[in-house]
């Protein structure tokens, strides 16, 4: 967690301007499309400008004012973060812009915010919550759940965390403005990834044999052979980690097997 | 061959969810393949393909600029193929998974091209962006979203149109029976998921013991039945 890197330049925020509820609804809806124009040059930058735009309309003079245009140009420049935790940046930057914080401080803050929001989000969501939700649903499948229940479990569990994180991020960003660093030291972000990883590891242990058995639909002997083979291949994959991707190996080997089945 | 249009629409909506909107993860293979199966009348076979693909997909983490397979549209293609063939042949799940893996691989390439296209659009509007034009910002965002929707629709349509006839031919001449056919995909997908679980979680303190404990519970549940 590298949040303290930008905490030194973060005094208490200026009083928050008030925004109507529908502006927050617009900002939040746009947050769901924040990666809509993701590209290799400005990454998430245009998305930040897109999300913050409804709030910036409340700058003095409105959308035709120089203040609005300068803020839009600033907020649409290069930015990188996890898409869910980018809500923290959108909230904090909206507050800073509407509070009249000097441009150079906003730009410094923006630059400092990129790293922590990227790495923490990746560990918490992509390498934690997503596989956890997926493995819980796979365990339900392995225990005999029907299709609707399996996908219902996954979508409800995953999106409970997904929406909670986005809403929390927007709220904490807006509440603290440029002083958001201490709020990012919350146990959720500091210790959350490790807790989620342990829960996901346990879920993986339960789910993998159960899901394999249901798809295989064979006897105990065949299942034992398949699971033993899977363990051996997985050890091999761990040893060659980084040199071959699992899905490419699966594509090649399943392709060869299909070819053998067709031509023999 | 069933009507392509509904699948194309499903593939587009699901493909859009992977990166652009709304990232609710109904693009995960578990969901997308099941939905595709339901579209063609057999959600259960779609789910079986989705489970195998989900096990494999656990290993690919969608970190920022990295290139990763596009599982959403791919799972629609695989789930629909397996669900359409389900009652006829032993190798349907295997063929569905194979079609989805090939589509996912190509789909990853299309995502890279889309991102390059988005960068081109942003470069072209650079003067307007630097001047703080809200029209330019919103236009680029909408163009990116539209581009992704079209990309996913075309990917689904082309992949299904190409791979479905191949899968039908392969299923007609498929020689292995059901259990060995499924053994290969189950063994490989479980191996990929197990190695991914190790790589992703082992750095968390105690995670290996949680995994071992979970595995004991899973195996007890399995062999107690």
Tens digits of residue pLDDT in A51-84: 999 999 999 999 999 999 999 999 999 999 999 9
Task: Please name which of A48, A71, A80 lies closest in space to residue B140, comparing C-alpha atoms.
Answer: A48
Find chain A residues with C-beta within 8 A of B131's C-beta.
69, 73
Q: Output the pLDDT for position A7.
A: 45
Residue of A nearest to B195 (CA): A234
Best of B14, B187, B208, B220 to mutate (most A CBs within 10 Å, chain A): B187
For residue A133, the number of C-alpha atoms closer than 13 Å in the C-beta half-sphere is 24
pLDDT of the residue at A13 = 55
Chain A positions in Cβ-Cβ contact with residue B148 (cut-off 8 Å): 36
The closest CB to that of A238, out of B93, B94, B195, belongs to: B195
Mean pLDDT, range A114-140, rounded to an integer: 93
Residues of B in contact with A210 (CB under 8 A): 218, 221-222
Q: CA torsion, points A237, B54, A118, B107, in degrees to nearest 10?
A: 90
Residues in chain A within 8 Å Cβ distance of B59? 245-247
Q: Is the dihedral of CA A9, A10, A15, A21 positive or negative?
A: positive
Q: Which backbone phi and psi does A79 adopt, to 5 degrees?
A: -155, 145
* Partners of B24 in beta bridges: none
Split at pLDDT 50, 70, 90, the class of B88 is low
On the question of pLDDT at A11 being above 60, the answer is no
Q: Is A21 on the interface with B (CB under 8 A)?
A: no
pLDDT (average), residues B194-198: 95
- The pLDDT of residue A9: 47
Instruction: Name the residue with higher pLDDT: A241 or A73.
Output: A73
3-state DSSP: chain A helix, strand, coil percent, rounded to 5?
Answer: 75, 0, 25
Mean pLDDT (whole number) for A193-202: 95
A222 and B20: CB-CB below 8 Å?
no
Yes or no: say if A1 and A194 are a contact pair by the CB < 8 Å rule: no
**What percentage of chain A exceeds 90 in pLDDT?**
82
Q: What is the pLDDT of residue A14?
A: 60
pLDDT at A3: 39
| Interatomic CA distance for residues B58 and A247, integer angstroms | 10
pLDDT in tens, B142-175: 999 999 999 999 999 999 999 999 999 999 999 9
Backbone region of residue A16 per phi and psi (left: phi > 0; alpha: psi in -120 to 50; beta: other values): beta
Count of CB atoms situated within 10 Å of the CB of B197: 28
> How much is the pLDDT for A184?
85
Tell me whether A151 touches chain B (CB under 8 Å).
yes
Q: Which residue of B124, B159, B174, B190 to mutate against A (max A Cβ within 10 Å)?
A: B190
> Measured on CA atoms in the order A111, A115, A121, A124, is the torsion positive or negative?
negative
Residue B132: left if φ>0, alpha if ψ -120 to 50, beta else—which one? left
Q: How confident is the model at residue B223 (pLDDT cuts 50, 70, 90)?
A: confident
> Please, what is the average pLDDT of chain B?
95
A residues 100-129 lying closer than 8 A (beta carbon) to B:
118, 122, 126-127
A215 and B48 within 8 Å at the Cβ level: the answer is yes
Q: What is the mean pLDDT of residues A210-222?
A: 93
CB contact set of A80 (below 8 Å; sequence gap of 6+):
A43, A44, A114, A118, B64
For residues B44 and B65, what is the distance between their CA atoms, to the nearest angstrom? 35
CA B222 – CA B74 distance, rounded (Å) = 31
Q: Which residues of A touch B193 (CB under 8 A)?
A: 204, 208
pLDDT by residue (tens digit) across A152-163? 999 999 999 999
Confirm if B18 and B72 have CB atoms less than 8 A apart: yes
SS3 content of chain B, % helix, strand, coil (to 5): 80, 0, 20
Please report the residues numbered 24 through 83 in chain A whose beta carbons come closer than 8 angstroms to any beta carbon of chain B.
Answer: 32-33, 35-43, 46-47, 49-50, 53, 63, 68-73, 76, 80, 83
d(CA A27, CA A97): 15
Asked whether residue A8 carries a pLDDT value surpassing 50, the answer given is: no
Q: Is A20 exposed, middle or buried (0-12, 13-18, 19+ CB in 10 A)?
A: exposed
Q: What is the mean pLDDT of residues B133-137?
A: 97
Q: How far is A112 from chain B (nearest CA, A)?
A: 18
Confidence of residue B35 (pLDDT cuts 50, 70, 90): very high
* Contact between A151 and B186 using a beta-carbon 8 Å cutoff: no
| B154–chain A nearest CA distance, Å | 18
Cβ pairs bridging A and B (under 8 Å): 346
């Amino acid at each position: 967690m590298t949040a303290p890197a930008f905490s030194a330049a973060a005094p208490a925020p200026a009083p928050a301007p008030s925004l109507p509820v529908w502006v927050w609804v617009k900002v939040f809806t746009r947050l769901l499309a924040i990666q809509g124009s993701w590209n290799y040059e400005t990454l998430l930058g245009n998305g930040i400008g897109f999300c913050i735009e409804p709030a910036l309309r409340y700058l003095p003079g409105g959308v035709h004012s120089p203040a609005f245009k300068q803020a839009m140009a600033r907020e649409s420049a290069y930015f990188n973060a996890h898409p869910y935790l980018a809500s923290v940046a959108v909230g904090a930057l909206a507050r800073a812009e509407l509070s009249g914080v000097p441009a150079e401080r906003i730009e410094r803050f923006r630059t400092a915010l990129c790293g922590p929001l990227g790495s923490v989000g990746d560990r918490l969501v992509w390498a934690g919550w997503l596989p956890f939700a997926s493995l819980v649903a796979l365990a339900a499948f392995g225990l005999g759940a029907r299709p609707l229940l399996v996908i219902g479990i996954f979508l409800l569990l995953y999106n409970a965390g997904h929406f909670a994180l986005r809403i929390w991020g927007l709220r904490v960003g807006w509440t603290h403005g440029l002083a958001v660093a201490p709020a990012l030291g919350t146990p959720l972000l500091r210790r959350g990834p490790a807790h989620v990883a342990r829960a996901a590891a346990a879920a993986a242990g339960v789910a993998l044999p159960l899901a394999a058995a249901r798809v295989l639909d064979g006897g105990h002997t065949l299942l034992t052979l398949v699971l033993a083979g899977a363990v051996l291949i997985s050890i091999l994959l761990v040893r060659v980690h980084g040199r071959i991707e699992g899905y490419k190996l699966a594509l090649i080997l399943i392709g060869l097997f299909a070819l053998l089945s067709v031509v023999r | 061959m069933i009507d392509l249009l509904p699948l194309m629409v499903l593939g587009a909506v699901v493909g859009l969810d992977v990166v652009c909107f709304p990232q609710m993860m109904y693009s995960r293979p578990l969901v997308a393949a099941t939905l595709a199966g339901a579209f063609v009348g057999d959600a259960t076979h779609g789910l079986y393909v989705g489970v195998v693909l989900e096990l494999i997909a656990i290993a690919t983490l969608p970190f920022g600029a990295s290139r990763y397979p596009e599982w959403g549209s791919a799972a629609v293609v695989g789930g629909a193929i397996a669900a359409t063939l389900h009652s006829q042949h032993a190798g349907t799940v295997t063929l569905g998974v194979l079609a989805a893996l090939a589509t996912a691989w190509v789909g990853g390439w299309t995502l890279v091209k889309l991102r390059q296209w988005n960068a081109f659009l942003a470069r072209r509007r650079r003067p307007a962006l630097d001047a703080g034009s809200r029209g330019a910002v919103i236009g680029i965002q909408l163009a990116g979203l539209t581009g992704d929707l079209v990309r996913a629709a075309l990917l689904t349509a082309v992949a299904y149109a190409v791979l479905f006839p191949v899968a039908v031919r392969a299923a007609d001449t498929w020689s292995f029976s059901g259990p060995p056919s499924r053994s290969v995909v189950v063994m490989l997908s479980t191996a990929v998921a197990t190695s991914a679980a190790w790589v992703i979680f082992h750095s968390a303190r105690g995670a290996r013991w949680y995994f071992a404990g979970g595995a004991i519970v899973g195996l007890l549940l399995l062999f107690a039945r």
